[in-house]
Structure 1
């Protein structure tokens, strides 16, 4: 994976917890009692984390960048919808303008800019989702894989291309 540069920030715009988490005052954490940030995690401005739907556990040394939405996965039943917990591993980097609705994200995962991770997706350890990728619901991304697709107006073509690193 490529090197990620330094992230500079204004300390007055962030709250820092005892475990070293840095959360922007402009971000929105819904249901904060259900959100666990394990330490040294950075949530940059205009991020939305939906803990009001189900529990979210985020590992250590993670970064969620601007305008990303992280919400737990759901499943439709005949009587309604049920939400399930979302587990995000350590050293996960989620770029700007992403919507993450995965069931599980492993450690050392990089999600590129402007990605949509469909509900119930499982991203295993050490994988990379390239910019502008849309993962359909219930997709599994194996370890050590670079995954990308070219979103089209017609979903009839199968244009999802995994690359083994």
Structure 2
């Protein structure tokens, strides 16, 4: 096994929270009161999380919840899904599980992303998509709105289609990868 090299960032560029989240100062966190980070999550430069989009009326905040050991690549856009129902335009909550890696420049409007999920670079995850545990979405995949990706499935293409079943060990492999990435992501000492 090869030893993974550290990924260095400058201390000034990232804010580290009490729970170990590392958030780039070049990321846009809109509506932070409506965003929950589970801990040890990395939000890279240029990422946008839209927690400011809300349902009509006061007190109807839409929560975006990210689990532990999530990685948002550079330029990701995470925004809640929306639809018009009985003439009213509404946003809906989004839940992202633990150990989820979302590649650079992907746009995500899913309703739910399970645990141990890998989403590649330049993907579009349509509104209200549901991605079950231990799924893998290949680079440049477009998942249409309301898609459901089963557990342990590999999807690719535009539109995204089933490619193959993933190994039972996917959960352990993805968990090891996200923890390793987090541990390699280190501040350069001044």
Give TM-score, length-normalised by structure 1: 0.89
1:128 aligns with 2:136: yes
Q: What 5-or-longer segments of structure 1 have no aligned partner?
A: 152-158
Equivalent residues in 2 for 1:69-84, closer than 5 Å: 69-84=77-92
Equivalent residues in 2 for 1:13-162, closer than 5 Å: 13-53=13-53, 54-150=62-158, 160-162=161-163
In terms of Rg, which structure is larger?
A: 2
> Larger relative contact order (C-alpha < 8 A, sep ≥ 6)?
2
Q: What 5-or-longer segments of structure 2 have no aligned partner?
A: 54-61, 167-190
Change (3 A) 1:7 1:91: farther
> How many residues are matched?
155
Q: 1:12 Cα shift? A: 1.3
Distance 2:5 2:136 in 1: 17
Q: 44-53 or 74-83: which moved more?
A: 74-83
Distance 1:77 1:129 in 2: 29
Q: Which runs of 4+ in 1 moved over 2 A?
A: 4-8, 159-162
Distance 2:158 2:95 in 1: 27
Structure with a larger share of its residues in helix: 2
Deviations 1:95-123 (A, max 9, x none): 10100000000010000000000000000
Q: 1:5 Cα shift? A: 7.2
1:40 alignment partner, SS class: coil
Give TM-score, length-normalised by structure 2: 0.78
